[in-house]
Structure 1
Amino acid sequence: MAVVREFTLPDLGEGLTGAEIVRWLVQVGDVVAIDQPVVEVETAKAMVDVPCPYGGVVTARFGEEGTELPVGAPLLTVAVPEGADEPGADRGSAGAGAASGGAAADGGSGNVLVGYGTTAPAARRRRVRPGAVSPAAVSPDAGAGAGAGARAGAGAAALQVTGDRRADGPLPVISPLVRRLAREHGLDLRGLTGSGPDGLIMRADVERAVRGSAVGGAAVGGVAADGAVADGLAVTAASAAREERVPLRGVRGLVADKLARSRREIPDATCWVDADATELLAARAAMNAAGGPKVSLLAVLARICTAALARYPELNATVDMESREIVRLADVHLGFAAQTDRGLVVPVVRNAHARSVEQLSAEIARLTEAARAGSLAPAELTGGTFTLNNYGVFGVDGSTPIINHPEAAMLGVGRIVPKPWVHEGELAVRHVVQLSFTFDHRVCDGGTAGGFLRYVADCVERPMVLLRGL
């Protein structure tokens, strides 16, 4: 006999209230082990695998890939052999039980937080025998029925999920929300063809059908009243059909929230200057020619930033409006903008002021690779005090950056290109870069901001200026 247990999206910490389903790691009908990762989700800060605290057969999944779920929402249901240990009954021995194949392998570990599963390797996924219900035939509101079918088995290895899709049987619907939406608009779900796996009917299918019904009704009315009106409605409907709506969630949603808050709260100003970077490029080439690990140009610029912040510490700050105080920070945690497939992220180099150019280069390379792989820890994306934005990699000369709230300033670096330049009283072709500096006008006046930017430009043009201050 088996009991159907529901596993909900756990609290992922860091103040996060939800996550987006990126990829399901199990299918309905799979046999899962305790603490086996069952779904990959993306929070506003990182990608994580979520382990299930139950062992048994997956009887239902809740939500398609791309769906955003709040903490506490159902993720899946599992048919667990009756009499298995309750979740959390022996958390200390859960890992040992799973590893040794003991009783805990059929019960629950209670380790529902990400990263707190047992260390035993996940069991191989096994499919139930042919004839079991397909994923499309098991909807969230059919989970109990699936569990009843599973209870007919003798144990986890013999658990089965049986079902039959008849004309009057269960519909392949992704969630109760889809059913409710269809009822509200008087839609017969049996007349819809689902766009999900195995014909699964999803919310987008219902919304598309609702829009089609509304446009169709309006167009018919328009023809009866005025052919021109009908033509206009047809054009409008055609335009609407080509629209694409992209949800603001995950990394993109977090970026949108932070940028909007920055614009609302921070009275920013921007100044910029062109600088001759020819000597800087030569200095970097000399460093790399001397042997040892190569250093990146971004690392050299990062070292210039930390030196400038040591001269102008009022820019390494944040503003506490509740107490009406400027908080000047002792340590420089340098963020740098990194473009990834999931959007713009800002990894943070901790204690950048205490690192050499070589150390900065190594840490920037590590964080960049992790950002592109989507494996950055939440702590590596928070706590920055100043941001360096190298938008020159996109082939542009200048920009007016938006400050990364709650920081007080950001340095932008454009592309370095050969340009005519007056050098030592003569016209020459030099490598020129535009530097832009956006600052919170609450923490300083233009003189401080201008002094910071001029010092950075001096270091770019004459790297010996930086060396003298080290």
Structure 2
Amino acid sequence: MAQVLEFKLPDLGEGLTEAEIVRWLVEVGDVVAIDQPVVEVETAKAMVEVPCPYGGVVTARFGEEGTELPVGAPLLTVAVGAAEGSSGSAASPSPSSASPSLSSSPSPSPSSGSGTESSGGSGNVLVGYGTGAPAARRRRIRPDRLDRAVAEAPVSVAPVVAAPVAEVLVAEAPVHEGPVPVVSPLVRRLARQHDIDLRRLAGSGPDGLILRADVDRAIRTVEETAAAAQVQAPVAAVVAAPNGVAAASDAERIPLRGVRGAVADKLSRSRTEIPDATCWVDADATELMAVRAAMNAATGPSAGPKVSVLALLARICTAALARFPELNATVDTAAREIVRLPGVHLGFAAQTERGLVVPVVRDAHTRNAESIGAEIARLTELARTGKLSPAQLTGGTFTLNNYGVFGVDGSTPIINHPEAAMLGVGRIMPKPWVYQGELAVRQVVQLSLTFDHRVCDGGTAGGFLRYVADCVEQPAVLLRTL
């Protein structure tokens, strides 16, 4: 006898409260195995494949691609034990926790309910839901079997077909009494930005929970009403914006959500909370470039992989932070304390198709230039393919930003909150330079340091930047700290 189980969007960690459906990996009627990835979602920090904790037949999907769902909202329903005679196992579900989360461990964990272990699973194991069982091939069950599975499902389980979304009531809806059923702070902020009264919305989520889709529909209703009024009245094609600047009535609006929205929130918070200051210096990088060329030209058993300029600069940063630990810190505003951190987790800015991300090289202070370079290359590839996990994008203590790749010389970077400083590096260009008392053409780079003025004064920041510049101009200086 089939049992239909509901799988809800799990807690993806790092305080994330919602995710956007990017791509469904299964369809209604497909047979899935335990821990088989069923949907690809995008959070504010990463793209994640979500594995299903149940094995059986998919009977319903909740949400189209592009829909944003809060944690705990239904994702799909699975008829367990419905695929009679199929080669894929329709195992009984393992016991589930109230708020399942994705484990950061790359290896599968044993199921608390199945009593078996298997390898080769998705790797994204839901805590308390089962093992990393190998994913079965997608199979479409015959309609008659699907109907029979649905008919045999116990009455007490979740419905197999998503109920139609409730109409959003804006003007005529009764006002909610008591707390408004909203979980996501992003939904509340979106409503405030568009002057939507959440007390007058009918939520389409579980127990009347107001979702972002409900607010979006309310916004569209208001916009459509305004557009209809414009059609009926002779209005100009261009209207005056609140700031006095003319704005086209058909201007494109791009939602700030996902990675770009998270970056926007973080940069805004940095500018609001951190009293930052910037200092910069031009440095002669000719010797650094010569040393790098010599390192990469080495042959024989001792020759390792190629070392990038970014890796050398990262190693210089860790040496500078050892001398000036004030900049490897954060500020606890509630306690009014500066917290100096024991280890260096070095972030580096990476531009991707999904926006700017900052992967983090863990324990960079324990690595040499070759090890840092290998980790930067690995994380950069994951960033380009959208496979960075939230854990790989958080926890940084200092950031290195190489904006020289965009062909610019200088910048005043915004600190990556809650860090205390960021080193910016411009392009390395041949320029006229006074070298040993004579004018010569040298490889020159501009270095800029933006720092939190609460953690140190200009003397410390200047000392840090000058040490970095000295290592760039005379790499032998770095040998003293190795």
Task: Note the 1:38-117 alignment, pairs <5 A.
Answer: 38-81=38-81, 85=92, 87-88=94-95, 91-94=111-114, 96=116, 113=126, 117=130
Change over 3 Å in CA distance of 1:212–1:19 after alignment to 2: closer
Gaps of 5+ in 1: 100-110, 133-146, 155-160, 164-172, 186-201, 224-228
> Partner of 1:412: helix, strand, or coil?
strand
What is the RMSD of the two structures over their aligned residues, measured on CA atoms? 3.7
Contact 2:48 2:389 in 1 (8 A): no
User: 1:423 Cα deviation (Å)?
Assistant: 1.6
Q: Which residue pairs with 1:338 in the alignment?
A: 350
Q: Which amino acid aligns with 2:116?
A: A
Candidates 166, 180, 187, aligned match of 2:168: 180
Q: Is the 8 A contact 1:149 1:162 kept in 2?
A: no
Question: Structure 1 329/16 Cα, relative in aligned 2: closer, same or farther at 3 Å?
Answer: same
AA matched with 1:429: V
The answer (yes or no) to whether the contact 2:287–2:472 under 8 Å persists in 1 is yes
Distance 1:85 1:279, change over 3 A: closer
Structure 1 contact 62–75 (Cα < 8 Å) conserved: yes
Query: What amino acid is the match of 2:373?
Result: S
Cα 1:151/1:448, change in 2 over 3 Å: closer
* 1:22-421 pair list within 5 angstroms: 22-81=22-81, 85=92, 87-88=94-95, 91-94=111-114, 96=116, 113=126, 117-129=130-142, 150-152=149-151, 176=165, 179-180=167-168, 211-212=223-224, 214-220=226-232, 222-223=233-234, 229=235, 239-249=248-258, 251-291=259-299, 292=303, 293-421=305-433
By how many angstroms is 1:413 displaced?
0.2
Indicate the residue corresponding to 1:193 in structure 2: none
Shift of residue 119, structure 1, vs aligned partner: 2.5
Q: So what's the TM-score if we normalise by structure 1?
A: 0.76
One-letter amino acid of the structure 2 residue matched with residue 430 of structure 1:
R
Distance in 2, Cα, partners of 1:98 & 1:334: 36
1:333 maps to amino acid = H
In 2, the alpha carbon distance for the partners of 1:462 and 1:27 equals: 61
Aligned residue number for residue 15 of structure 1: 15
Letter in 2 for 1:272: W
Aligned 8 A contact 2:111 2:128 in 1: no
Instruction: Indicate how the Cα distance of structure 1 residues 131 and 48 shifts in structure 2: closer, same or farther if over 3 A, else same.
Output: same
Question: Cα offset for 1:283?
Answer: 1.0
Q: Which amino acid aligns with 2:424?
A: G
Which residue identity lines up with residue 313 of structure 2 in the other structure?
L
Correspondence for 1:424: 436
What is the CA–CA distance in structure 1 between the aligned matches of 2:44 and 2:420, rounded to whole Å? 22
| Cα distance, 1:436 vs structure 2 | 0.4
Aligned to 1:369, the other structure's residue is in SS state helix
Distance 1:71 1:284, change over 3 A: same
User: What is the aligned partner in structure 1 of residue 450 from structure 2?
Assistant: 438
CA spacing shift, 1:38–1:357, aligned 2, 3 Å: same
Q: Which residue identity lines up with residue 151 of structure 1 in the other structure?
A: V
% same residue: 72
CA displacement, residues 121-170 of structure 1 (integer Å, 9 cap, x when unaligned)? 222222244799xxxxxxxxxxxxxx97743479xxxxxx999xxxxxxx
**What is the letter of the counterpart of residue 24 of structure 1?**
W
Q: What per-residue deviation string (whole Å, max 9, x for no partner) do you get for residues 215-264 of structure 1?
A: 233322x24xxxxx36557x99x934341322322x22322222222111
- Tell me the amino acid that sits aligned with residue 48 of structure 1: V
Whole-Å Cα distance in 2 between the matches of residues 316 and 295 of structure 1? 25
The one-letter amino acid of 1:243's match is: E
Relative distance call for 1:217 and 1:453 in structure 2 (3 A) is same
Aligned-partner SS, 2:282: strand
Hey, what does 1:168 align to over in structure 2? none
Provide the secondary structure at the position in 2 that maps to 1:180: coil
Q: Structure 2: which amino acid aligns with 1:418?
A: P
Cα distance in 2 between the residues matched to 1:294 and 1:320 = 40
Provide the rounded CA distance (Å) in 1 between the counterparts of 2:19 and 2:476: 49
Q: CA deviation at 1:329?
A: 2.1
Pairwise CA distance, 1:416: 0.7
Q: CA deviation at 1:55?
A: 3.1
Over residues 342-370 of structure 1, what are the superposed CA-to-partner deviations in whole Å (9 max), with x where a residue is unaligned?
22221222222222111221121122122
How many residues align? The count is 407
